[in-house]
Structure 1
Amino acid sequence: MSRIDELIAKHCPDGVEFRRLGECVVKNTGGGTPSRSIPSYWDGDIPWASVGDLSVPGNFILTTRASITSKGLKSSPSNIISRGDVIVAVKISPGKMKIAAKDIAINQDLRGLSLHNFINSSFLTYYFQTISIVGNGTIVKGITTDTLERIRVPIPPLEVQREIVKVLDTFTKLEAELEAELEAELEARRRQYQYYRDALLAFRDQDVQWAAMADVGEFFRGRRFTKADYVEDGVGCIHYGEIYTHYGTSTNIVISHVQPEMKPILRFAKPGDVVVTDVGETVEDVGKAVAWMGADDVAIHDHCYAFRHSMNPKFVSYCMQTASFIAEKAKYVARTKINTLLMDGFSKIRIPVPPLEEQERIVSILDKFDALANDISIGLPAEIKARRQQYEHYRDRLLIFRETA
């Protein structure tokens, strides 16, 4: 910070000039998409970027997920953005910005900006990470070119810009290396936890009863509701998609509600039931379970089953996460257009049935391991989150400038 403070005191003691982004741009270029139905337009040697390609770590786009041919380029509004120019999203993630590390064609959700020589492209990219741009639109958020060009950006002297970029590049690299180490450690912890969980629930060399799920409980199917039925405050519900995108081993709260007048036609899971999906994009998703630990009944979708039993609900949910259970479950998944659970076979999968005291003891152990591996508020996930926040705080402080009068 001292080096940068010295440069600011030397070159701009009275503050920093701010300009509209449009005044910093020599050329603002749009993009487009070649016809998807013509194979000769695709898989060529021209990298072609969409908004998803701006999500890669770092300030530069080195590769893209798709490429087009010269025919594809000529057939569409897509344009080549030159190496070193800035690529910015105007739809979906408005304001997200990266620098082209090579000549790249872009789609219609992006703009390519050639900058004047008084602003450094990396400096601008870092600055855009500190501001929030709210797009318009109910389905796809977007901003107009005029709105983009009216965004005001600081223009300190180039020597100051370069020094800030140098510091942030170094800090970003160190933060990324540390985060990679923490991510690797976290993955190792999760594998260790999964191994321990599976070993604990295998009950090897223990005299424990095993029984088919149909022998220790019953399955009740839910009733259909759609997102059009959702309301802010109504009947609490669990949609099948939420089980493999939102919920973990158990939950006592819901994230969705449907209209109260639908209550008579819905079906409900009771507290202690385990709610199971019967469809999914992958075999692992099908049959994924969450123990319902809430105080009241909860409505479930018709692609869900409530497993009603007299066991510890979290114990059952943990059992259904083990590698051995998943391997058995895979035998009863119909691999059609949508992977579907064959409930007659699924209900025959055997699970361990130790005494309730032992179930509770195992749940207590696994809850602690699960929290250490996955809870965002403790352990390594919290450390990763803290490192990101520390970096963002430092970056934002470097890019705050007093504007000239």
Structure 2
Amino acid sequence: MGSGEDTPTRPVRIMPLGDSITEGWGSATWAGYREELFNELHRLGHDIDFVGPRNDVFQPEGDPDHAGASGITIQGLTAVVPAWVSAAAPDWVLLHIGTNNMYDDNATLAPGYLRDLLDAIQQACPAAHILLASIIPSRFAPFQKHIDEYNQHVRKIAEERADRGVHFVDMAPALTASESGQDDDLSDNVHPNLQGYAKMSKVWRDALHPLLPAPEGGPILTRNPHFQTTRLSAAHQADRGWDRGYFPGWDNEGVNAYAAELAGSGNGSNAVGMFTAPPMYKGISTRLATTPQVPVRVTFRTKSNSLGPAYACDPNAGSDHTFTIEADGHPPATMTADGSWRTLTYDFTPTATFTTLRFSPNSQPGCGPLITDVLAREVST
């Protein structure tokens, strides 16, 4: 265990940008390639934050944010990306776009539209790097002819802009399509099936991994370390509920969720506030896929909080709050949150392939602490 002045984690901000294939059309949870890519990058040790104006309300784990819009064309995306990209401030943009331009002879205009789109992205966020992908194949032969021609231009355009932070990703060969639909990677004429989305995630992973900053530790085990959620709004300071969906990847046992600005420093995190007054508020927990005997270090940020009597809190309870952190099979550790954001650590060595990590409020007056940015990492040798 340890403490120190808060130094907020700043995840790498990644914007999945495109049409319904980016949105995840045809996948069970509408996460498409995004959820598996998120998990793959965590396994490689990268702390990432998906960003964008849309979120996937069905996604059970990970980070639901994205910038995929069903049915959108290249020129349609060009009209909205200045606002989308400026607001999200991505470090990296994963761009797969053009499928909806392939349906007629106007497909020949698509390369020009693509240049305009890249100009719009780079004007809105000059520091962002763009991974520009060739688009996946279609089962319909007339579409495929246009796709093959367009993808040649995609490669050329990326190479022309290599010195401006554009990187070509050859996505098309990774997936197969057949007119009969037998044993291919599509769920219909244009959208991937689960197997196809898994292949897309691996191509994005292999392209991103060598370009991202070197990981600051081993594999990240927390599925949702920064409490990304589909249920939070900055307009509501507290939004209490028992539904696990408030914090994908976490079991929510009657706690409060707080808007991102309370987590501080604009790093995209939300914070969870743990009530201590009523006994039914038991905190939060998450299940980690652990390797027996491989040590794990948990780093997290915490700050005391008191919302007052309207939330069953005692406003005179003081600025310090104690809470408990515990991993299965290990003694609980009691920690203290004070009036400032602090980064604390908790170390344990798992004995099983799955370990539950819990944060629990203690039975003291007032509201419990705020918790955010919970990164459980394997300690690599």
Q: Give the alignment's TM-score, normalised by structure 2.
A: 0.26
Q: Which has the larger radius of gyration?
A: 1
Higher helix share: 1
